Amino acid sequence: MSSKWWQKAVIYQIYPRSFQDSNNDGIGDLQGIIQRLDYLAFLGVDALWLSPVYSSPNDDNGYDISDYQAIGPEYGTMADMDCLIKEAESRKIKIIMDLVVNHTSDEHIWFQEALKSKDNPYHDFYVWRKPVAGGPPNGLKSNFGGSSWTYVPHLDEYYLHLHSKKQPDLNWENPKMKQAIWDMMNFWLEKGIGGFRLDVIDLIGKEPDHEITQNGPKLHDLLQEMNHKTFGNYDVVTVGETWGATPEIAELYSSPDRDELSMVFQFEHINLDKQPGKRKWDLKELNPYELHEVFSKWQIKLDQKGWNSLFWNNHDLPRIISRWGDDSDEYREISGKMLAIYLHFMKGTPYIYQGEELGMINYPVKEIQEVDDLESIQMYNERLKQGYPIDDLITSINAKGRDNARHPMQWDTQLNAGFSAEKPWLPVHSNYRTVNAAAALADENSLFYTYKQLITLRKQFDVITNGEYQIVETNNPLVLAYQRFDDEEELTVVVNFSKTVQKYKVAQTLAEHEILIHNCPERPEQWHQLAPYEAYAVRRSN
């Protein structure tokens, strides 16, 4: 079966601010990424998605862009960017840029002009409304909390911001604005980048007057137009961040004959440890079988119709081992391997977030002063006023706060984990002396090599990319299992999603199958019992 390159690819996400600092100002940068390309090539990834490196006042760490066609000075120069694209290419690695076009920074020249007067040609690049009864036009809330409308007295108008008030939303009804964005996208495509990750793209079809934000009526027309004007003319990957996607919606985005995107990031699994209908801060324990059902639903419903991504982590999410594995010394690595094995035999394009391959874990804080992330801070202030106990707020931040993913990458045992010789913008986790890339590379049983092996297996066995999917019953809701199969072969994946020994029973006899990967030193001799977090995948020819 023929596949697109990105269907066989494994993509690695870099949060540049925290990856590698080359000039010791405490902030990661493009030259730092270049220094680490050999490491990434050795891991075996095909492309790097960079969180934003454009000019930005960094209210939301780069997701508030003030110039799309300039590199932020803290990250380097456009020449560094060109060098990164070239150096990566020589290692067969593509660079995927983060495209943040639902909003700009309020410091973008377009918004600065828009503020000058209602007749300014840029005014209509943004979404403005008159006050209603002396207050905001309606009750629309920002994703970070609070109203999504901010009043500008000298214009007697409110502007819309679905994120912070320093992130005004662009007006996707304005043809000139659209053309300016397409030109900007073509500027990057002409540089030879490998694609775009489209930030909160499901918001661009919004209808604020009807309080519709996600999945607005014009969303898919806008994406088809964008595709035809820009990336549709190149062999690149596009992945949309689509919090509100169901499998049916994901098909609209990613069906090959609709000319929209290559694939989506959907978040249904990510929402399973929050209370239904509440915010991510309102914690609930994960039910592993529910997770299995959600993954399986997506595997089956999108099959042959669209394309999904596979991920546990990103720069907005807590570290997966702390979240659904076990970050104690005893189980950190083995639970990390289990999570990796469970995910990486599924259909879709896997994403690895920096440090995931090392088993990096959450960074607990004691008080709000240690927090950088504006989303956590806004939630804290809002809920404090509403009378929540401080301890509960800190518990939520430690469980879900975005800083967890943003502490510096742990390279070696040197000062600041080899990230920087100076004080990093966020501190390094205290476990860096044992959890670091140098130690992982030196130990052939480390989690790093599990990821490397999973990438190799994906290249080796076409059934992982193209095969069908089926749940395997195990008679134990904590032992999750599935098969991938085609005419030639069949893979079976079995994992113990718990910290205790589990018995299980499958109809198939697996004992004679070839073991592809297994996270325990001994062969799984008793094929009916698993050690804590034990996981394996086996294969046989059909």
Contact 507, 473 (CB under 8 A): yes
Contact 335, 533 (CB under 8 A): yes
Shortest approach of ligand GLC to residue 388 CB, angstroms? 23
State the Rg of the chain over Cα.
23
Closest to ligand GLC by CB, 315 vs 344, is: 315
- Cα of 290 vs its chain's centroid, Å: 21
Contact 438, 469 (CB under 8 A): no
Q: Produce one character per residue of 221-255: b if its CB has 16 or more CB atoms within 10 Å, e if not.
A: ebbebbbebbbeebebbbbbbbbebebebbbbbbb
Query: Looking at 144-225, which runs of residues are DSSP E strands?
Result: 149-152, 157-160, 195-198
Q: Which does 21 bind (CB under 5 to 8 A by kind): ligand GLC, Ca ion, none?
A: Ca ion
Q: Which does 249 bind (CB under 5 to 8 A by kind): Ca ion, ligand GLC, none?
A: none
Please count the residues of this chain forming the interface with Ca ion, following the rule CB under 5 A: 5
Our finding on whether 100 is near ligand GLC (CB under 6 A) is yes
DSSP assignment string, 314-360? -TTS--HHHHHS--STTTHHHHHHHHHHHHHTSSSEEEEETTGGGT-
**Cα–Cα distance measured from residue 369 to residue 414, given in angstroms and rounded to the nearest whole number:** 26
Closest-by-Cβ residue to Ca ion is 29
Shortest approach of Ca ion to residue 76 CB, angstroms? 8
Can 241 be counted among the known catalytic residues? yes
**Cα–Cα distance measured from residue 64 to residue 167, given in angstroms and rounded to the nearest whole number:** 6
Shortest approach of ligand GLC to residue 227 CB, angstroms? 21
Closest to Ca ion by CB, 73 vs 153, is: 73
Our finding on whether 379 is near ligand GLC (CB under 6 A) is no
Among 93, 97, 114, 200, binds ligand GLC (CB under 6 A): 200
**Cα–Cα distance measured from residue 395 to residue 400, given in angstroms and rounded to the nearest whole number:** 9
Contact 261, 223 (CB under 8 A): yes
Among 29, 106, 199, 327, binds ligand GLC (CB under 6 A): 199
Contact 71, 80 (CB under 8 A): yes
Shortest approach of ligand GLC to residue 216 CB, angstroms? 17
**Cα–Cα distance measured from residue 540 to residue 293, given in angstroms and rounded to the nearest whole number:** 25
Shortest approach of ligand GLC to residue 320 CB, angstroms? 16
Q: Which does 25 bind (CB under 5 to 8 A by kind): ligand GLC, Ca ion, none?
A: Ca ion
139 to 198, contacts with Ca ion by CB under 5 A?
none
Residue 479 neighbours by CB distance under 10 Å: 27
Among 108, 163, 269, 292, binds ligand GLC (CB under 6 A): 163
269 to 328, contacts with Ca ion by CB under 5 A?
none
Q: What is the H or E stretch that residue 310 is in?
A: strand 309-310
> Binding marks (x or -) toward ligand GLC, 60..89, rule CB under 6 A?
x--x--------------------------
> Binding marks (x or -) toward Ca ion, 17..46, rule CB under 5 A?
----x-x-x-x-x-----------------
Closest to ligand GLC by CB, 60 vs 260, is: 60
275 to 334, contacts with ligand GLC by CB under 6 A?
315-316
Our finding on whether 80 is near Ca ion (CB under 5 A) is no
Q: Which does 199 bind (CB under 5 to 8 A by kind): ligand GLC, Ca ion, none?
A: ligand GLC
**Cα–Cα distance measured from residue 256 to residue 234, given in angstroms and rounded to the nearest whole number:** 14
In eight-state DSSP terms, residue 406 is T
**Which of the following is catalytic: 64, 199, 373, 534?**
199
Q: Which does 23 bind (CB under 5 to 8 A by kind): ligand GLC, Ca ion, none?
A: Ca ion
**Cα–Cα distance measured from residue 261 to residue 251, given in angstroms and rounded to the nearest whole number:** 10
Question: For tokens 């510096």, what's the residue?
Answer: 408
**Which of the following is catalytic: 60, 64, 157, 241?**
241
Residues in the chain: 542
DSSP assignment string, 80-136? HHHHHHHHHHTTT-EEEEEE--SB--TTSHHHHHHTT-TTSTTGGGB-EE--BTTB-
Can 199 be counted among the known catalytic residues? yes
Our finding on whether 97 is near ligand GLC (CB under 6 A) is no
Closest to ligand GLC by CB, 59 vs 259, is: 59
Shortest approach of Ca ion to residue 24 CB, angstroms? 7
Closest-by-Cβ residue to ligand GLC is 63
- Residues serving a catalytic function are 199, 241
Residues that bind ligand GLC (CB under 6 A): 60, 63, 100, 163, 199-200, 241, 315-316
Residues that bind Ca ion (CB under 5 A): 21, 23, 25, 27, 29
